[in-house]
Homo-oligomer: A and B are copies of this chain.
């Protein structure tokens, strides 16, 4: 087994993805574990990494960004003008799912932020915790992580080998293909949707309105199905909202589901044989369609 050539780090895990499975951490994770209210687990480590990557990607969109995550897939992603609002929006986006979840933010975690939510969280990841926040949070069962600078990679074992890929968020620059240009606020929502869809499991469709995710369709074998899940979860909030797709629409059907729910702006990469058909349909449906430079699958 190839991993055994690597040196184990100082973190030892009680068990793996499930209690009957053993697990190992090779190398030292580039972070400080400031508090371990309960011993950190295999799933905590992977969830924290997944949430942190998305939180980092929110940096250029708005002053403050927050990500609530479960099972390595975001359940709420938000940006805001204040730290407290970003956290509240990210958690409230899917409050039921966020219970026992991971929260990652791209700003220093203060006592005011720590007191601004009630939800039980398993892990909080932030670039910094203030002394006061630490004193408060250390009484709780949460794990607190401060990452060091690191380059993101993804990958998995396959057939005894290890398959690894870079993880690179493409520039948040989109080209208008059909429809009317949009306001700066909607551009912000579009950037947020694309960052969130990059962090969700493929196939993924994410709907955003007013700087927060309102419907995340993720982990599906069909894009159409992710569109159905995202729009169903969004409900009325899909009206006038922005949707991002992590890869091109192979057919117009996914787009039609989004339009039917009231989505008015879509961002997705092109590259399908049926791009022309998809764009023509967008025009007919009154959807403003922006193209992204690249597919952003994650698994």
Contacts and interface: CB of A to CB of B under 8 A. Distances in A.
Nearest to A21: B166
A22 interface: yes
Contacts of A27: 2, 160-162
A73 interface: yes
Contacts of A221: 69-71, 73, 75, 94, 97-98, 101, 216
Nearest to A22: B166
Contacts of A22: 165-166
A178 interface: no
A166 B4 CA distance: 13
Contacts of A163: 13, 23-26, 42, 45-46
A294 interface: yes
A298 interface: yes
Contact of A154 (B17, B28, B219): B17
Interface in A144-161: 147-148, 150-151, 153-161
Interface string A34-72: 000000001101101100100000000000000001111
Nearest to A155: B157
A69 B165 CA distance: 21
B97 A166 contact: no
B162 A26 contact: yes
A9 interface: yes
Interface string A281-299: 0000000000001111111
A96 B219 contact: no
Interface residues of A, number: 83
A136 interface: no
A252 interface: no
Given A27-B2, A156-B49, A20 B97 contact: no
A43 B218 contact: no
A165 B21 contact: yes
Contacts of A167: 17, 21
A61 to B, nearest CB: 20
17 contacts: A1-B153, A9-B161, A18-B165, A18-B297, A20-B170, A20-B293, A27-B160, A29-B159, A29-B161, A45-B158, A46-B299, A48-B159, A72-B299, A73-B219, A75-B222, A97-B221, A201-B219
Given A43-B297, A48-B159, A72-B299, 12 more contacts: A3-B155, A21-B165, A24-B165, A29-B159, A30-B159, A49-B156, A71-B221, A73-B220, A98-B221, A153-B160, A162-B162, A201-B219
Interface of A: 1-3, 5-7, 9, 11, 13, 16-31, 42-43, 45-46, 48-49, 52, 69-73, 75, 94, 96-98, 101, 147-148, 150-151, 153-168, 170, 201-203, 216, 218-222, 224-225, 229, 293-299
